Amino acid sequence: MKALLIYPEFPDTFWSFKHALKFIRKRSSSPPLGLLTIASMLPSDWSKRLVDVNVTNLTSKDLEWADYAFISGMTVQRQSAHHIISQCKQAGLKVIAGGPLFTIEHDQFDEVDHFVLNEAELTLPVFLNDLKRGCAQQVYSSTEFADIHTTPAPQWELADLKRYVTMSIQYSRGCPYNCEFCNITALLGHRPRIKTAPQIIAELSSLYELGWRGGVFFVDDNFIGNKKALKTELLPALIEWRRDKRGIPFSTEVSINLADDDQLMQMMVEAGFGTVFVGIETPEEVSLLECNKKQNINRDMVETIKHIQRAGFQVQGGFIVGFDSDSPSIFQQQIDFIQNSGIVTAMVGLLQAPPGTMLYNRLKQAGRLLEKMSGDNVDGSTNIIPTMNLDALRDGYRGILHYIYSPEHYYQRIITFLKEYKPPKLNFSWNLVQMRDYLLAFIRSIFSLGIIGKERVYYWKLLFWTLFRRPKSFPTAVTLAILGYHFRKICEQHVRFDYNGINHAP
């Protein structure tokens, strides 16, 4: 059998980094971890081919080659998924679909032959067995949670690694918290399930043996969900593994209580973690209580963020406006918090209610749900009827993005961050490929940002300030400047502001 694994296209979104990728001539941020793992679960005697349409085209030759098409994706890839499925059906291919998009919306895809939903460790073997016997059903699902000790390493060799910026691996599934708007616990449970340290080391080693020397993103929704296992098993193993592999930096997602454990932060830095994404949501404690984000309350949030930065991390943050308790003052509160905390990469979105969440169920009962979610965190859309006037909510939201991603305030925020940031000592070494990519990106940034860019004054101020005040952080400053270019492009597309402060939104 020949299996064609197809990953739909990501639209131009906050996390696509498409405008920044041009500076280093990459096509996508990372390959599809789920499909590469599925490839390892398929029978060993099957032929497999990956087509990630974010980096290459799906051709008629690919479709003619295959016996089955396996497709996975997230909500934001919905439109591309529909198009790809139609292509496959026109070519006479059987289509098997799974992953978050189809687990939530499988009833919206009439052309799919078989749905393998929820966690593939449980549903894929049943499907493959039925397929072999000629009695495959349309839908395979499970309410159980898989033992990920049995999850095989991804088949990295199917991906053209040179086209990507980072690789992704998964250590755990599930989160101990229960935020009202989050569907992680509905999909993956409250109890964090973890892989063994030898599993993770084997996955990293296989990447290293294939020549990968770039960054690795741990896709866990809360990497520190099981602190004891981290501190006694995984982090010591990572520290030992990286002793002669310092060119590979790690990043991940964590809850804010990382700041409460100095030993854990120190071990993560020593293990190679330099960037963490934190769900901050809002500086307003009433709204935090409303959405059950209890781990964020009763703390000085700005000082908490700075404490993490001083430990050696760049903190990226997620923010939300549109809670029932939000007043018109929330927009300025969000701006002040983001600027004062030095969170350079600040993803701000309107509150949305994913199916399966407590928020979705509550608002459905109240008759406050609109059309389905777009899946794009920063396009200014929402699938709920807010208590605040919707036009006022959208205007306030646009005002936040306009302010924080205008060149003056964005570059000011980089400096605020660098004043606190303590780069870890001897934690990272460059190889020749990374040095080449960085130098090329720096040269392109000089032209695009420093010569013709509308941010050129702030760009040069940042470079000279960093060179004289924080020279060890110079590469970080250049990288953040390039990312700012992407974020502003996204704001211009979705919010349609120009930087004279004129609102062009309909």
Report d(CA 71, CA 75) in Å as an integer: 13
pLDDT at 430: 65
pLDDT at 505: 39
Q: Nearest 5°: phi and psi at 475?
A: -60, -35
pLDDT at 401: 95
In a domain, 499, yes or no: no
Same domain, 129 and 152: no
The DSSP string of 18-55 is HHHHTTTT-SBS---HHHHHHHHHS-TTSEEEEEETTT
The burial of 325, by beta-carbon neighbours within 10 Å (0-12 exposed, 13-18 middle, 19 or more buried), is given as middle
In a domain, 504, yes or no: no
Report d(CA 318, CA 320) in Å as an integer: 7
Same domain, 237 and 336: yes
pLDDT at 376: 87
The burial of 390, by beta-carbon neighbours within 10 Å (0-12 exposed, 13-18 middle, 19 or more buried), is given as middle
Same domain, 44 and 163: no
Task: Answer with the one of 363, 387, 419 that is the final residue of a domain.
Answer: 419
Instruction: Bin 134: left if φ > 0, else alpha if -120 < ψ < 50, else beta.
Output: left
Report d(CA 457, CA 451) in Å as an integer: 9
Same domain, 167 and 304: yes
Confidence label for 500 from pLDDT (cuts 50, 70 and 90): very low
Structure tokens at 191: 């109890």
Same domain, 110 and 207: no
Q: Nearest 5°: phi and psi at 277?
A: -95, 130
Query: Which helix (H) or strand (E) segment is 411 a member of?
Result: helix 407-420
Confidence label for 374 from pLDDT (cuts 50, 70 and 90): confident
Nearest 10 degrees: CA dihedral of 242, 245, 251, 256? 30
Which structural domain, as residue segments, surrounds residue 465? 430-494
pLDDT at 497 over 50: no
Confidence label for 428 from pLDDT (cuts 50, 70 and 90): low
In a domain, 372, yes or no: yes
Same domain, 240 and 381: yes
In a domain, 345, yes or no: yes
pLDDT at 197 over 50: yes
182-185 CB contacts, 8 Å cutoff, 24+ apart: 182/354, 182/357, 183/104, 183/354, 183/355, 183/356, 183/357, 184/221, 184/222
| Mean of pLDDT values over 275-286 | 97
Q: CB neighbours of 488 closer than 8 A, spacing ≥ 6?
A: 405, 406, 407, 410, 455
The residue among 34, 28, 45 whose CA lies nearest residue 74 is 34
pLDDT at 116 over 70: yes
Q: Nearest 5°: phi and psi at 252?
A: -165, -175
CA dihedral for 400, 326, 345, 261, sign (positive or negative)? positive
Same domain, 135 and 152: no
CATH number of the domain enclosing 304: 3.20.20.70
Same domain, 27 and 67: yes
CATH number of the domain enclosing 117: 3.40.50.280
Number of domains in the chain: 3
| Mean of pLDDT values over 140-154 | 96
3-class SS of residue 289: helix
pLDDT at 379: 87
Query: Which helix (H) or strand (E) segment is 64 a member of?
Result: helix 60-65
pLDDT at 166: 95
pLDDT tens per residue, range 217-274: 999 999 999 999 999 999 999 999 998 777 789 999 999 999 999 999 999 999 999 9
Same domain, 305 and 277: yes
Report d(CA 5, CA 11) in Å as an integer: 19
Instruction: Please report, for residues 55, 84, 103, 311, 335, the alpha-carbon distance to residue 306 in angstroms, rounded to integers and kept in the order given.
Output: 37, 45, 38, 9, 17
Asked if 222 and 254 count as a contact pair (C-beta separation under 8 A), the reply is yes
The residue among 301, 281, 308 whose CA lies nearest residue 293 is 281
pLDDT at 111 over 90: yes
Report d(CA 196, CA 203) in Å as an integer: 11
The residue among 123, 124, 127, 121 whose CA lies nearest residue 148 is 121
pLDDT at 424: 79
Task: Answer with the one of 140, 162, 195 that is the final residue of a domain.
Answer: 140
Same domain, 261 and 347: yes
The DSSP string of 364-406 is HHTT-B-SPP---TTSS--SB--SS-HHHHHHHHHHHHHHHTS
Same domain, 164 and 135: no
pLDDT at 499 over 70: no
In a domain, 10, yes or no: yes
The residue among 348, 333, 338 whose CA lies nearest residue 380 is 348
Name the average pLDDT for the chain. 93
Q: In what order do the strands lie in the sheet with 114-116?
A: 47-52, 2-7, 68-72, 94-98, 114-116, 139-140
Same domain, 7 and 120: yes
pLDDT at 184 over 50: yes
pLDDT at 176 over 50: yes
Asked if 15 and 135 count as a contact pair (C-beta separation under 8 A), the reply is no
pTM for the complete prediction?
Answer: 0.94
In a domain, 371, yes or no: yes
CA dihedral for 340, 221, 378, 18, sign (positive or negative)? positive
Report d(CA 317, CA 312) in Å as an integer: 16
In a domain, 424, yes or no: no
In a domain, 22, yes or no: yes
Question: Crossing angle of helices 432-448/474-494, nearest 10°?
Answer: 50
Report d(CA 494, CA 378) in Å as an integer: 8
Task: Answer with the one of 79, 109, 140 that is the final residue of a domain.
Answer: 140
